A = this chain, B = another copy of it.
Amino acid sequence: MPEPLSEFDLIRRYFTRPVHKAALGVGDDCALIEGRPGHQLAVSTDMLVSGRHFFPDVPPRSLGHKALAVNLSDLAAMGAEPRAFTLALALPSAEAPWLAELAAGMLELADLHGCELIGGDTTRGPLTLSITVFGDVPPRQALRRDAARPGDDIWISGTLGDARLALGDFRGEWLLPEPDFTAVRPRMDTPTPRVALGMALRGVAHAALDVSDGLVGDLGHILARSAVGAWLDVDALPRSEILARQPEECQRLCTLTGGDDYELCFTAPADARETLAGIATRLALPLTRVGAITPEAGLRLVDREGNPCRFDGAAFDHFASP
């Protein structure tokens, strides 16, 4: 009988098969196929649906930015350099000013990363954007999810949870003072893909991904695919001053399960700490050590005292959640 399946179950069950020609198939941030001489081509696709991934009345400029940003973030998570993208767009109607803003938001970010729009499709339908993005990465230097090793440090770029904090205000879960909301809202509306960081991590980090569905669930993908476990210091998770002023429960919810920050979570051997400090300085982007990979399976959350920390949150799942 038909029964609800989780998003990940669905994909695994029906659409995941071993690849023969491609170097890497379904299951990582990007697929890898043979690219131009001296490169692999990293490919990723994302679909954003109105009412699901963004509010129907979101400013079109933000929407254009975000739709491309989440795809560039997948390239960043592989250590790939953006090269080109395609856009498929379903629109309920075609209003010129709205489209002009959408294009401006998208193409401005594209230009910033030298990522060319090379093709697309437009049709009438419920507002939906699907982008496929292409990037270059030197052979065997892609940052894959299956490459974490016991003893690796776990790192997070920037800060986690502000996008979730803004979303909670939007949803009425809590009410932030106006200046705080204004400060965190861009983390939800116009996220910054960590492209330069991803490229800098080639040959330094082992495993990596971008935090788009929540750290606990996303880190779980690295653990599962690398067949390792981890401990995570929930009090060490980097957060903004605004989030640090919220009740502890809210802070944990936002840092552990908040999606949409598009920071990178990566693992690296302990002897890379100095190199990583240099990268953080060069990019003016904080990198915070938040835990370590263990040989035993499972994710163990601890607080700053090292005591076990209970938390019931799980990664946001588009199908399992109500």
Contact of A130 among B3, B34, B47, B117 (CB under 8 A): B47
Whether the Cβ atoms of A45 and B86 lie closer than 8 Å is yes
Q: Which residue from chain B places its CB closest to the CB of A51 in the assembled complex?
A: B125
Given the contacts A45-B132, A130-B47, A52 and B123 also touching, CB distance less than 8 Å: yes
Binding site for B on A (CB under 8 A): 2-5, 7, 10-11, 13-15, 17, 19-22, 24-26, 30-31, 33-37, 41, 43-47, 49-53, 83-84, 86-90, 93-100, 102-103, 107, 114, 116-126, 128, 130, 132, 134, 318-319
Q: Which residue from chain B places its CB closest to the CB of A9 in the assembled complex?
A: B94
State the CA gap A35–B3 with chains docked (Å): 42
Whether the Cβ atoms of A319 and B124 lie closer than 8 Å is yes
Kindly provide the distance from the CB of A104 to the nearest chain B CB, expressed in whole angstroms.
Answer: 8
State the CA gap A7–B94 with chains docked (Å): 8
Taking CB atoms, residues of chain B closer than 8 Å to A95 are 2
State the CA gap A17–B87 with chains docked (Å): 13
State the CA gap A272–B116 with chains docked (Å): 37
Kindly provide the distance from the CB of A58 to the nearest chain B CB, expressed in whole angstroms.
Answer: 15
Kindly provide the distance from the CB of A34 to the nearest chain B CB, expressed in whole angstroms.
Answer: 4
Kindly provide the distance from the CB of A260 to the nearest chain B CB, expressed in whole angstroms.
Answer: 14
Whether the Cβ atoms of A318 and B123 lie closer than 8 Å is yes
Given the contacts A2-B95, A2-B97, A31 and B118 also touching, CB distance less than 8 Å: yes
State the CA gap A47–B25 with chains docked (Å): 22
Whether the Cβ atoms of B83 and A21 lie closer than 8 Å is yes
Q: Which residue from chain B places its CB closest to the CB of A30 in the assembled complex?
A: B119
Whether the Cβ atoms of B83 and A117 lie closer than 8 Å is no
Kindly provide the distance from the CB of A39 to the nearest chain B CB, expressed in whole angstroms.
Answer: 9
Closest 3 CB pairs of A and B: A49-B125, A130-B130, A31-B118
Kindly provide the distance from the CB of A11 to the nearest chain B CB, expressed in whole angstroms.
Answer: 6
Whether the Cβ atoms of A19 and B122 lie closer than 8 Å is no
Whether the Cβ atoms of A84 and B33 lie closer than 8 Å is yes
Taking CB atoms, residues of chain B closer than 8 Å to A103 are 14-15
Contact of A84 among B21, B87, B94, B125 (CB under 8 A): B21
Taking CB atoms, residues of chain B closer than 8 Å to A34 are 36
Contact of A118 among B19, B49, B94 (CB under 8 A): B19
Whether the Cβ atoms of A33 and B134 lie closer than 8 Å is yes
Chain A to chain B contacts (Cβ below 8 Å), 17 pairs: A4-B93, A7-B122, A7-B123, A15-B107, A21-B83, A30-B119, A31-B84, A35-B35, A37-B37, A44-B86, A47-B88, A49-B124, A88-B88, A88-B132, A126-B126, A126-B128, A130-B130
